Structures are given as structure tokens and as C-alpha cells.
Structure 1
């Protein structure tokens, strides 16, 4: 028992690890994950729009992208982009590994986000698009103003869950050899563990990850419950009567309640 406690919960090693983890590691983990999430959401929406296209030649490149990046292990994608691109002379971020780390995690996130957005958009009733078009909106305008916002609302819990995965996958960028000031949580803990042959630093890093992911997990669950409650909430008779009365006169584009 003493050896177990010394290996995983050594007080001196924990006190040595936490300052760097909380200042440098936590900051860079959040930076990498946040930028990757932004990249994943933007690219994911664009890919989702391609995936729902009626033209096969438009869908095909997006489908190939999604299948490839969802099929490859994330650690392989990080290695190919972070180590392979600079070795091949493709250096959009120079010699700074942080940029390649964000790109790699963001590209993986985009593949999963694209499927999330696609399912949410296709879950919107076709009448929403038809009603918007009847008001004179073009296809792209109707998708941007009417359909896509409702689709995103449908998949907010799943999208938030993907954000949690992005935070955890940011630990894979240790492969790129981040320099001082750029190290994330796992990199710092792994360095200390290798120097001391003690796993207490890894336990400290795990605690930091839990500080990020556990509150987000509960927030996702609460959001899911609220959205489900909104979908199941019955409409009042007055609101149904008013909608029925207005139907012959105007074409409404209703939104789902939350």
C-alpha cells in the first residue's frame, strides 16, 4: 500500500507538478482545444452543407474527407500533420508545433462535427425550407437563416460532447515536441514522470483534465434535458388556434421551442 501511494500520490511530486500544470499546461490545453473547436465547427458546417447536397459530385469529396478522418486514429493524424508536413517541406506555421497541433485536432474534429451537423440539419422538417423559399429567400439564404440554426439547436448536446473529446485529444500533441511555454497538461506531466520515475504528476494532470471535462459533461446533460423538455412541451390551445387562424393569410416559418 505504501508503494502504491508513493507511486501515484507522492506529496512532493504533486506539489512540484501542480504549479506548471495550472499555469502553463492548463492555459495551452485550453488554447489548443478552443482553436481546434473553432476550426472544427467552421469546417464541419461547410462539410455538412456539402454532404446534404443533391449532387453526387459535390457530396463525394466531403464524404471521402469525413470517412478518412473518422477512420484514422487521432494519434496517427496528429503525427502525419505535425511531423509529416514539415518533413515534406510544407510548413504553413514555420517551425512552431502549436499551429500544427491545432490543425491536426481541428481537422479530426471537423469530420465528426460534419456528421453531427448533417444529422441535425436533416432532422429539420422539409416544410421549413419550403416555407422560407415561398417567402422569396434563395436556397443558401434559407439554409443560413432558417434551416441551419434549427439544425444546430437539434444537436447542441452532441456538439458539446465533441468539444469535450477535443479537450482530451489535445493531449496527443505531446508527440510534436512542444517547447517551453507551449507545453500542455500531458506533456508537462509526462516530462516530470520520466525524470522522477513517479506517476504522481500524471495523476495531477488527470485531475486537471477532470476539472475541465466533468463540469462540461454535467452542463451537456443539463442542456440535453432542457432541449428534450422543450421538444416535449405541449402547445397551448390558444397558440394552436392563433396559428390556425393565421395560416390562410401568411406563410409562417416556425421555430422549435427550447
Structure 2
């Protein structure tokens, strides 16, 4: 038997197995029970408009705040890590390794409870503010490494040309190196934004009020009240509505960057 024939037979068998599995699932799944437990129209109607005007709005708002704060702090830590001054470099390295090594949930918990109870330090804007500080610390550690790698990927000739024209080291970094570095790191930074959208679900550990719930907390409360998973399905759909276009955007950026190179 020829290799091409064997490959076609193998592909045919694999397709047949997949189709058979799908048919078995469709035939033996209790669709009435799934609809009753996860797709109740009456419960879905009850969640509007709060699931959009409160939960989705807060999820997007918290993501933007955490990303902006993480980006600013990440730039600072990346520059410190590239510093020729040892103590600055050591501090930035310790910071990055600490907050990349700790679970985000533990960091948020520490900001929301350990600091106020143990040290008497209270973060502005209450528990939500403390949770956001935790997210910012974790995000900045990951962003710092991404930004550092982007800076180091900029050809040294660019820096040398700017310095030869009389630009100071600071001006060269902020007007020549960083803009080119950010062009390189757009895809991973967009991925970081997507991860932050999902990580806002961890803010539940810090506590929330009626008006500060994000999608996951809102869905969990709906599950507790109605003893039904419809709100979880709605929250999942809203998460996908945000994250899928962003992940597609990352793929577009990566293809354009590959062509540019």
C-alpha cells in the first residue's frame, strides 16, 4: 500500500472517530436538563441590564486600571533592571521575581487583608482598590520582563546613532528606544491585557459591594440566589465576547510584525 493511500485512510478513520464521538454526545446528552440548569430564559432576563451596566462595565474598568498601572510600573522596573547601577538592578530583579513567583490570588489577598490588619496600611478606595493594587503589582512584574526584552531587541545602532547626534541617554531611551521596543512587544502586551481581563475575576477575594461586582462575582451571586448556572453561562459568553476579538487582534499584529521583519 502506498504511503499516500495510508495517509488518506488514516485521516478517514480519524474523521470517522470524531463524527462518531459527536453523534454519541448529541444522542445521549440530556439536553432538557442542560437547558433547565444553564439556559433559563427567565433567569437570563432578570440579569439585565445589571450584568452589562455593572458587571461588564466594572470588568473592563478594572482591567484598564490594572493595565495602565502595571504598564507604568513595568516601564520603571524594566529600566531599573537594565540600569548599570547595581542596587537598582538588584531591586528590580527581586521585585520581578517576587511578584512573578507569587500567585496573583495571594498577592491580592495580601493587599486587601494582610497590609490593613498586620501593618495598619489602608489602600485608597477600599477593598476594590486593594485588589487592584495587587493586580497592578503582578501585571507590572510580567510587563517589566516583556518591556526589557523589547528594549534589548532594538538594534544597538539606533541608540548609537542618536547618541552621536548629541541626544542624552534619557532622551535616547524615551524618544528612540522605547517607541521601537513597544512596536515589537505589542502582541505580548495585548496578551497581557487579555490575561488581566480574566484575572479581574480574582478580585472576589478582596470583597465587593453591589456596585463594584465584576462578571465572575456577579455570576457567582446569581448562581447562589437562583441555584442555577444560567448566570455563569452569560458571564462566560461576555468574557468570550471581549477576549476572542483581542486574541484575533494579537494574531494580526504578529503576522504584520513577521512581515515587517
| TM-score with structure 2 setting the length | 0.85
Q: Report SS of the residue matched to 2:49.
A: helix
RMSD across aligned C-alpha pairs, in angstroms?
A: 1.3
Residue 209 of structure 1 corresponds to 239
Deviation at 1:190, TM superposition (A): 0.5
Match status 1:91 vs 2:122 = yes
The equivalences for 1:122-161 within 5 A come to 122-161=152-191
Residue 104 of structure 1 corresponds to 134
Deviation at 1:67, TM superposition (A): 0.6
Work out the number of aligned pairs and report it.
Answer: 230
On the 8 A contact 1:117/1:151 being kept in 2, the answer is yes
Q: Report SS of the residue matched to 1:167.
A: helix
| CA distance in structure 2 between the aligned counterparts of 1:52 and 1:18, rounded to whole angstroms | 49
| CA distance in structure 1 between the aligned counterparts of 2:213 and 2:225, rounded to whole angstroms | 16
User: Deviation per CA, 1:173-207, whole angstroms, max 9, x where unpaired?
Assistant: 11122111111111111011012221111111111
The structure with the greater share of residues assigned to helix is 2
Unpaired runs of at least 5, structure 1: 232-258
User: Deviation per CA, 1:7-54, whole angstroms, max 9, x where unpaired?
Assistant: 222222222224221110011111111010000110101111111122
On the 8 A contact 2:109/2:131 being kept in 1, the answer is no
On the 8 A contact 1:17/1:204 being kept in 2, the answer is no
Point out which structure has higher relative CO (alpha carbons under 8 A, 6+ apart): 1
| CA distance in structure 2 between the aligned counterparts of 1:19 and 1:174, rounded to whole angstroms | 21
Residue 239 of structure 1 corresponds to none
Q: 1:70 aligns with which of 87, 100, 117?
A: 100
| TM-score with structure 1 setting the length | 0.86
Deviation at 1:131, TM superposition (A): 1.1
On the 8 A contact 2:55/2:213 being kept in 1, the answer is yes
